[in-house]
């Protein structure tokens, strides 16, 4: 059984010419930045990232440029404070990062059980090093990265990607982005939400065309 963790080394510093590599890298970026605030080294990689798409005017170019711009203008401490204010908070977070909250209104509810069943069928398990439940947005993005870039062709293919995305990401991620963008203290993570929303829209359109 493959144990899925969040890898903090997915920030692209060069243009990815292969579309599948680019998709996997971007899911890795989302997983990394939603899992924890970036440290100085990770923030430096993001600040050094290219902001021009391989094709001029590409749909994700502007939201990616906005995220890199926010990274360049903010300190690691400021982004950490924003992360804690949004996603940790005192008592309860301002914004939940778990699918169950958006799909059922409760944490650790039926959507999490359904997700665990699907992960088991894919031969995937949450690493013991990750304290969050499997319906955390970072974990789900890392699963998508694995389904794109993994070596097991029986699992890592477009059919599995489409099914997992349609069931466990597309129904609720736009609502997460809305919640992040509504918070007045959200700056870096508002830009991340904008990129997330655009990427999910691109993914949904591409899967609809299959």
Give the torsion sign (CA, 175, 179, 181, 182). Answer: positive
How much is the pLDDT for 51? 74
pLDDT at 58: 74
List the chain residues with pLDDT less than 50: 1, 6-17, 55-56
Q: What is the pLDDT of residue 81?
A: 97
Look at residue 171 in the predicted model and tell me its pLDDT.
Answer: 98
C-alpha 51/C-alpha 63 separation (Å) is: 10
* Alpha carbons 190 and 118: distance in angstroms, whole number: 30
Residue 18, pLDDT score: 82
The pLDDT, as a whole number, for residue 201 is 96
Whether the CA torsion 84, 36, 171, 4 is positive or negative: it is: negative
Please check whether residue 72 is in contact with residue 188, taking contact to mean a CB–CB distance below 8 angstroms.
Answer: no
Query: What is the C-alpha separation between 6 and 69, in angstroms, rounded?
Result: 24
Residue 53: its pLDDT value, please? Answer: 57
- Beta strand residue intervals within the chain, DSSP E: 2-4, 124-126
Q: What is the pTM of this model?
A: 0.89
């Amino acid at each position: 059984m493959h144990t899925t963790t969040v890898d903090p080394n997915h920030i692209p510093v060069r243009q990815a010419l292969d579309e599948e590599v680019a998709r996997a890298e971007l899911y890795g970026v989302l997983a990394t930045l939603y899992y924890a605030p970036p440290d100085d080294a990770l923030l430096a990689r993001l600040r050094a990232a290219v902001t021009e798409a391989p094709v001029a005017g590409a749909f994700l170019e502007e939201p990616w440029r906005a995220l890199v711009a926010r990274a360049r203008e903010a300190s690691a401490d400021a982004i950490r404070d924003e992360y804690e204010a949004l996603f940790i908070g005192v008592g309860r977070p301002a914004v939940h990062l778990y699918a169950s909250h958006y799909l059922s209104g409760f944490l650790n509810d039926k959507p999490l059980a359904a997700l665990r069943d699907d992960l088991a069928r894919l031969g995937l398990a949450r690493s013991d090093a990750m304290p969050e439940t499997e319906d955390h947005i970072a974990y789900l993005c890392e699963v998508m990265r694995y389904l794109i870039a993994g070596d097991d062709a029986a699992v890592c293919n477009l059919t599995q990607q489409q099914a997992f995305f349609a069931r466990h990401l597309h129904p609720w991620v736009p609502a997460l982005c809305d919640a992040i963008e509504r918070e007045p203290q959200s700056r870096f993570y508002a830009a991340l939400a904008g990129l997330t929303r655009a990427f999910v829209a691109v993914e949904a359109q591409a899967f609809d065309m299959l």
